Structure 1
Amino acid sequence: MENKENKLGTMPIPKLLFQVSFPIVISMFIQSMYNLVDSYYVGKISEAAFSAISIAFPVQNIMVGVAVGTGVGMNSLLSRHLGEKDFEKSNKVAEVGLFLGLCYGIILFLLSRIIPLPYASAQVDDAEIIGYTVDYLQVVMGLSMGVFMQIFLERVLQSTGRAVLTMLTQLIGAVINIILDPIFIFGYFGLPAMGVRGAAIATVTGQIIGAICGAIFEYKLNPELKIKKPSFDLEIIKGIYAVGIPSTITVTIQSFTIYVLNRLLSGISTSAIAAVGAYFKVQSFVFMPTFGINNGVVPIIAYNYGAKNKDRILKTIKLAFAAVTVMMIVVSSIIMIFPREILSIFSATDEMIKIGVPMLRICATSYIFAGISIVGTSIFQAFGNGILSLIDSILRQIVILLPVAYIAVKYFSINEVWWGYTIAEFASVLFVIYFMRTFVKKKLDLI
């Protein structure tokens, strides 16, 4: 029977890239449902409520980034030790991952009493939006143990090749969230209407139930690993974060960028903050296929680089770039044609539509460049260089986007803010092209 390694080295590249990428796209789609469903129902409360969860998004993003970065590092060590048939060491890594997840949950519970109010007040002056933001963050931070445990258990299942169980865990959590959102927000079946706080409670309930399902799958259906208790091991922690830190920093940079943008836009209109929030919800869906290809490219190139199969590497690179370019042209066209209809999903007010329609059309021009950039940085990672990906993120968001946004707000109009995305993504493409012709070319010439 052909094993996974043989498929990476022998299966036709188009079929292989689809086979590796498709489950990742499904998983990402399920994950994005949490925030999208919250946004859909919260938008029906008011624009102020929608603005609040947009303001809360960077904090949630950092939480998920830390959890995923930790999970990626843990998964890397777990897979390596499982490949070596060192099950004792594998169990130890999983137990350390459990320890880290519990620590983060406790820390965020304590911070949930301190951070939300000053964080919200630093971005807007509107008391209603501040109140909604505090309500939402106190719950999602205070009960963040669910998201950390869910992602931890998903990565454990992934490391042993149980991708179907991972997707099932995510699906159960997402469905629970979808069912509970309207019930908790609007107060059905005799429950009180809890508004924004209800959306947060629905989210963490879905995550907790997803984590419980993950624990059941791990203990009942995953015989390779037997996690007994949380464990502390400094060397394993170092190994986890040697791999996971670049991913975490990249997400943190994105969250910092959104935070600064919200502060800049609050001086113009809270509707602008709501419009940016809608943009990031749309973006999460637009980029899903690209991120799926992005994650599929890495193991294919890495395996064939180790096997010194230059031809398959080049075919993978060309196919990935061609696929994301076609996909981004299609989604950019859809967004440019239907921006008003897209914003209506979030119950957009007239002011939000006035700001949001040109915003979506302008930002859509950046997507073609963004697809090339995302795949390019994944190719760097496949050749063992995560630093180039991190530098690219800093270039796009800190060096270019924020200065352009600041200049636009101070000297021009709000529409010029959105052109910062296009300029930043174009600069990223130039960055990718340069290092494809230098770093990647040198790697291929050594084969």
Structure 2
Amino acid sequence: MTEYEKNLPEKPESPQPLDLRGEKLKPTSAGDDKVLRMGTASIPRLITEFAIPSVVGMLINGSYAIIDSVFLGHAVGEIGLSAMTVANPIMIVFMAISMLIGNGGNALAALRLGEGKREDAERALGNVVSLSLIASVIVLIIGWNPTLVAAVLDMASATPEVRPYAQVFIQILCAGFILQCIGLGVNNFIRTCGAPNRALGTMVIGLVGSVAFNALFVLVFGWGVLGSALATVLGWACSCAAVLQYFCLRKDVPMRLRFSAMRFNLAMDRTILAFGLPSFCVQAGMAIVNFVINFQLVKYGALTPIGADDALAAIGVVQRIGQFSVMPLIGIAIALQPLLGFNYGAHNVDRVRKTLWYGIGAASSISVLMFAIVEIFAVPIAHAFGISHDGLVDFTAFAIRVQFLMLPFVGFQIVSSNYFQATGQPAKSVFLTLTRQILFLVPLLYLMPVILPDMFSQFTGLDALYFAAPVADFLSIFTTAIFVAWEMVRLRKLAALYDKK
């Protein structure tokens, strides 16, 4: 027996339901039954139960930007869409911070529940709320400091015409960031508590509130960008209130939010941030890409009849559709997280493998469907956002069709990279995430406008920007496939070692 085999932890028996003192709970506890079934129930049934609310919830979360853009596009025109495009990287950064803290804490909680360590799971929940409060204070300081917010607008390539609108939008979102951080980040813990439908309900409440307030503030009161920003924040507030009600007032939940669990634990906080780093990198990478694209759009758009402001409006539509199309794929990945984490923590290797492959199949099916929708309805999508100029409509439809050429395979990449996060391998997950968002795409955004027009004279530098995404996706998917193949070998060896023990 090798030294590694000797030090391998014993595979636990069926994880025991524990209360906050580490004592066994009665098997009739509804909250514990919901958690423990993740290690015993049918995997396809669990994935369906967890994935449907998660996918719908992520679509709802992605709908905030869509709703803002549609209302502003019709009420204010292209200048409203341009302002949203400038503010979009900031909105993505906010989501990145929320997922850094929330997804990291949720991944840790799922692993600890699988190990039967209920108290540690509750401390993870409490520390997520504490970290969210700190992050919100930092965001508020940055957003309302004139020098810092001016620097952010410069990074986002705001033109003089768009700048004042984008500034108002960003500052209001900064003031309400704590509501998003808790409403989105802590929401994931509800799924880990075995209540995916309740998690969906908290997001539906927020979306309904956002639509209602947008209609009132933008269409009725005519407040424009100001009204849209206020509507977004109030939508977050509705979700936040529903999430806090679940963890603070209900008594039949496996984890409760208590002040005693909110005391900072530096070792745990480091683990939370490490586990959440892959999710952060997904969103932060998207934000960096948005900054780069905005810069390149202003540069190459000014050289075409479309112009810089209309190019920003067009990319705003493409970005919204791009973010919306991957939301259900991220939803599948998030739904798998508690299932993968619980079974990996409980050393149920066979269930880990099956969960991954079922999840990849589900995500790939959604990818193909989303691809068909955006390819067929590219022109109506452009019209739906209030774009009316024929030349701009054609350019927007072209950009949509080109950018999503590899979408049928993106589901595999997103689910697979998230698998490494859920199973406590954040470094691999971070690397795979960066391949798609940073390592391949950012260089291509600079290279393609230089190379492609020389090779094909019918394309301008502005056209070439949209070919960078499918090329980067292809390279990232290929790299991820190599990592997954090696992981399957590692899991087989791990299962054999557990069988020996």
**For the residues of structure 2 that align with 1:132 and 1:370, how far apart are their CA atoms?**
34
Query: 1:422 is matched by which residue type in structure 2?
Result: P
State the number of aligned residues: 443
2:470 counterpart of 1:440: no
Unpaired runs of 5+ residues, structure 1, are none
2:283 counterpart of 1:251: yes
Deviates more, 1:392-401 or 1:249-258: 392-401
The Cα shift of 1:387 comes to 1.9
Query: 1:406 is matched by which residue type in structure 2?
Result: Y
Corresponding residue for residue 44 of structure 2: 14
Q: 1:212 aligns with which of 235, 241, 250?
A: 241
Change beyond 3 A, Cα 1:34–1:8: same
RMSD: 2.9
Change beyond 3 A, Cα 1:131–1:341: same
Corresponding residue for residue 417 of structure 2: 377
The Cα shift of 1:92 comes to 4.6
Q: What are the within-5 Å matches in structure 2 for residues 149-298 of structure 1?
A: 149-186=182-219, 188=220, 191=221, 193-222=222-251, 224-228=255-259, 231-267=263-299, 268=301, 269-298=308-337
Query: 2:286 is matched by which residue type in structure 1?
Result: Q
**For the residues of structure 2 that align with 1:84 and 1:439, how far apart are their CA atoms?**
22
Q: In the TM superposition, what whole-angstrom CA distance separates every residue of 1:181-228 from its partner, at most 9, and x where no partner exists? A: 021123x2xx4x221111001111111232233333332214652523
**For the residues of structure 2 that align with 1:5 and 1:156, how far apart are their CA atoms?**
12
The Cα shift of 1:318 comes to 4.3
The Cα shift of 1:315 comes to 4.6
Change beyond 3 A, Cα 1:348–1:437: same
Change beyond 3 A, Cα 1:125–1:372: closer
Corresponding residue for residue 473 of structure 2: 425
**For the residues of structure 1 that align with 2:178 and 2:363, how far apart are their CA atoms?**
35
Q: 2:388 aligns with which of 349, 353, 359?
A: 349
The Cα shift of 1:406 comes to 1.2
Query: 1:71 is matched by which residue type in structure 2?
Result: G
The Cα shift of 1:140 comes to 0.4
Change beyond 3 A, Cα 1:305–1:249: closer
Change beyond 3 A, Cα 1:374–1:304: same
Deviates more, 1:393-402 or 1:51-60: 393-402
The Cα shift of 1:153 comes to 4.4
The Cα shift of 1:56 comes to 0.9
Corresponding residue for residue 396 of structure 1: 436
Structure-1-length-normalised TM-score: 0.88
Other structure's SS at 1:161 match: coil
Contact 1:124 1:130 in 2 (8 A): no
Corresponding residue for residue 104 of structure 1: 135
Corresponding residue for residue 131 of structure 1: 164
Corresponding residue for residue 6 of structure 2: none
Q: 1:38 aligns with which of 49, 58, 68?
A: 68
Change beyond 3 A, Cα 1:171–1:68: same
Q: 1:324 aligns with which of 363, 379, 389?
A: 363
The Cα shift of 1:84 comes to 7.2
Change beyond 3 A, Cα 1:148–1:433: closer
Change beyond 3 A, Cα 1:24–1:435: same
Other structure's SS at 1:179 match: helix
Deviates more, 1:1-10 or 1:126-135: 1-10
The Cα shift of 1:371 comes to 1.9
Query: 1:273 is matched by which residue type in structure 2?
Result: L
Query: 2:89 is matched by which residue type in structure 1?
Result: P
Q: 1:27 aligns with which of 44, 54, 57?
A: 57
**For the residues of structure 2 that align with 1:264 and 1:82, how far apart are their CA atoms?**
47
Q: In the TM superposition, what whole-angstrom CA distance separates every residue of 1:296-351 from its partner, at most 9, and x where no partner exists? A: 44444555556766665555444444443343233222222221001111111324
Q: In the TM superposition, what whole-angstrom CA distance separates every residue of 1:355-391 from its partner, at most 9, and x where no partner exists? A: 2111111122120231221222234345542222221
**For the residues of structure 2 that align with 1:215 and 1:8, how far apart are their CA atoms?**
24
Corresponding residue for residue 92 of structure 2: 61
Deviates more, 1:112-121 or 1:224-233: 224-233
Change beyond 3 A, Cα 1:56–1:226: closer
Query: 2:474 is matched by which residue type in structure 1?
Result: F
Percent of aligned positions with the same letter in both sequences? 23
Other structure's SS at 1:141 match: helix
Q: In the TM superposition, what whole-angstrom CA distance separates every residue of 1:381-405 from its partner, at most 9, and x where no partner exists? A: 4554222222122222323222222
Query: 1:259 is matched by which residue type in structure 2?
Result: F
Other structure's SS at 2:440 match: helix
Deviates more, 1:71-80 or 1:58-67: 71-80
Contact 2:104 2:276 in 1 (8 A): yes
Corresponding residue for residue 113 of structure 1: 144
Q: In the TM superposition, what whole-angstrom CA distance separates every residue of 1:130-150 from its partner, at most 9, and x where no partner exists? A: 111101001001221221232
Unpaired runs of 5+ residues, structure 2, are 1-27, 302-307, 454-459, 496-501
Contact 1:121 1:130 in 2 (8 A): no
Structure-2-length-normalised TM-score: 0.79
Query: 1:402 is matched by which residue type in structure 2?
Result: V
Change beyond 3 A, Cα 1:372–1:72: closer
Contact 1:321 1:375 in 2 (8 A): yes
